[in-house]
Structure 1
């Protein structure tokens, strides 16, 4: 049986579910994360709920079938069913690793009090963090065990290319595809990731387990 990680690894290679208007339901990779991945004309719902309930709920929606899994009514029904909540629908981006050293000096840290690091520890495993002059870079294992990246840039040095440099640097720190989730309204961040070679592969809505605390926007 295909797993959530199988689907993500294939997408990182540019191999996507069939664009047939269908919905695939797979089990969660762990308790922390459930939700929806939306690719071109195909969705993946990762949940431990009954797949028959998922498909029946989608059929009952009065909306475009291709957009049903991201329809607010379905996401609300899924939240009610699971007792979870969601924050936003994000653009899902991925980039391959790069050889060589990062393009800017980085210092690895373990400052759990930094807001970006504290946020990451609530959402990911195996957290690593680095600082640069005016910014923080964090990686960790998130949805399906994939490696995810987030950055924070100080207000005083924004719009100078540091965000792009940091997410580029992250590609030099790994030997596997690197994922990012960005709110569609955060155009500045989207531009930085795309300029650094990350390409959009779909959208996602992650449902958080009860007790998970929100953090800074990605």
Structure 2
């Protein structure tokens, strides 16, 4: 990742976070597709085609909750002529060597709902399925980072398949790469599975997507 946002995310993933000073940093969008807000501990980053002055006029100094609050996100969405997607917990894990410990079969079927959603937000999509009802999707997302999406069939839920898929996905990247996963905090089952697979929380984020492009 060579953009300013990409460099910041990579540094955070490796433990070097923005200074916890209560400030809001405004960065240019890393691509025409990507815009949003990412919040770390006591520091937020707005990556969008807006002037820093516009952002700072709407966020009081030291207001740590404002960057992810409904009033600011609504104003930012209107400014960009987009809509705010969900607020997600952002997690990351390092790649693992060797092949996945469970059999994954790569598929080029783009009709699967999880794959269709991934195509809206990521480039270079690749997808794998399992015989017991799992789907793993990886692709280049925000700032060029590798992002993970999972799907577990209803009949296969509750048996740890999501955790196994998330762990197996770490074997699908070249050595030394980082894999990111965004999870809705209210989806406790997915949160537990991602954490059990070795992903660690980095922050929270909201993406600004074209109207009708949520999900």
5+ residue gaps, structure 1, are none
Separation in 1 of the partners of 2:155 and 2:44? Answer: 40
Cα drift, residue 154 of structure 1: 0.7
Question: After TM superposition, where is structure 1 displaced by more than 4 Å over at least 4 residues in a row?
Answer: none
Contact 1:33-1:209 within 8 A present in 2 as well? no
- Correspondence for 2:91: 93
User: 1:166-205 residue pairs with structure 2 within 5 A?
Assistant: 166-175=165-174, 176-205=177-206
Is the 1:31–1:209 Cα contact (8 Å) retained in structure 2? Answer: no
Q: Where does 1:3-152 land on structure 2 (aligned, <5 Å)?
A: 3-59=4-60, 65-133=63-131, 134-152=133-151
CA distance in 1, matches of 2:194, 2:147: 13
How far has the Cα of 1:88 moved from its partner?
1.1
Residue deviations 1:122-150, cap 9 Å, x none?
A: 11110000011211000011111100001
Partner in structure 1 of residue 214 of structure 2: 214
Q: What is the deviation of 1:31? A: 1.2
Provide TM-score, normalisation by structure 1: 0.93
Is 1:158 the equivalent of 2:157? yes
Give the aligned length.
Answer: 211
- Paired residue secondary structure (1:128): strand
Query: Deviation at 1:59?
Result: 2.6
Q: Distance in 1 between matches of 2:144 and 2:122?
A: 9
How far apart, in 2, do the equivalents of 1:130 and 1:214 lie?
23
Q: Structure 2: how far apart are the matches of 1:191 and 1:140?
A: 22
List per-residue Cα deviations over 1:52-102 (Å, max 9, x = no partner).
101111139xxx701110111111110111111012110000000111221
TM-score normalised by L of structure 2: 0.94
Provide the secondary structure at the position in 2 that maps to 1:54.
Answer: helix
How far 1:214 moved relative to its partner? Answer: 3.1
